[in-house]
Amino acid sequence: MSRRVVVAAAIVAGNRLLLGRRGDPAEMAGRWELPGGKVRPGEDPSTALCRELDEELGVQARVGDRIGDDVPVGTEYVLRAYRADIVAGTPVARAHTELRWVDAAELAAVDLLDADRVWLTDLRALLG
Ligand code: 9L3
Ligand code: MG
């Protein structure tokens, strides 16, 4: 069985990164993540990320380069991060309980999901 790919976006504006706070499932509730979600069978990962950002944030995005390494999550998923830029719209929390733009110091202090925490060095590099 191959792992299902979950795509996530590092959206940076100025010196800040956009994070969403998960409301579910219970074991992840209250923790922060890069927005994104599961690639559908046959779907291109970049297309999937654009779709997820539209669904979760209500924005149109352009997906750029990958950042960091793939991160296995449990036995089911592998998580993959990309740079993304918003080309239209302003992010609204449609799937998260809260959104937040964090600078490097705030990123270091926030309660990120364990999987996303693997990218901390890569994310910090984006924030200068
Ligand atoms: N996940 C972890 N970090 C992220 C994202 C977008 C997702 N930045 C994990 C949480 C779930 C799984 O991947 O276990 C599927 O994500 P979603 O479809 O619930 O967003
Ligand atoms: Mg999601």
**Burial of residue 75, with CB atoms counted within 10 A of its CB: 0-12 exposed, 13-18 middle, 19 or more buried:** exposed
Tokens of 48: 């999937």
User: In the predicted model, what is the mean pLDDT of the chain?
Assistant: 97
Q: What is the distance between the alpha carbons of residues 34 and 18, in angstroms, rounded to a whole number? A: 7
Span 2-11, average pLDDT: 96
Task: Note the pTM of the prediction, 2 decimals.
Answer: 0.97
Q: Is residue 128 part of a domain?
A: no
Q: What is the distance between the alpha carbons of residues 9 and 90, in angstroms, rounded to a whole number? A: 15
CATH of the domain at 115: 3.90.79.10
Q: What is the distance between the alpha carbons of residues 50 and 61, in angstroms, rounded to a whole number? A: 6
Domain of residue 116: give its range: 4-123
Sign of the four-CA dihedral 59, 60, 64, 70: positive
For atom 16 of ligand 1, which residue has the closest CA? Answer: 37
pLDDT at residue 1 above 80?
no
Q: Is residue 70 part of a domain?
A: yes
Ligand nearest to the CA of 8: 1
pLDDT at residue 8 above 90?
yes
As beta bridge partners, residue 60 has 88
Q: Is residue 72 part of a domain?
A: yes
Least Cα distance to 38 among 81, 97, 79 occurs for 79
pLDDT (tens digit per residue) in 85-128: 999 999 999 999 999 999 999 999 999 999 999 999 999 999 98
The H or E element containing residue 28 is none
> What was the pLDDT predicted at 128?
83
pLDDT at residue 61 above 90?
yes
> What was the pLDDT predicted at 2?
87
Query: How many domains does one find in the chain?
Result: 1
ipTM over 0.90: yes
Using a 6 Å CB cutoff, which residues line ligand 1? 6, 8, 33-34, 36-38, 73, 77, 79, 113, 115-116
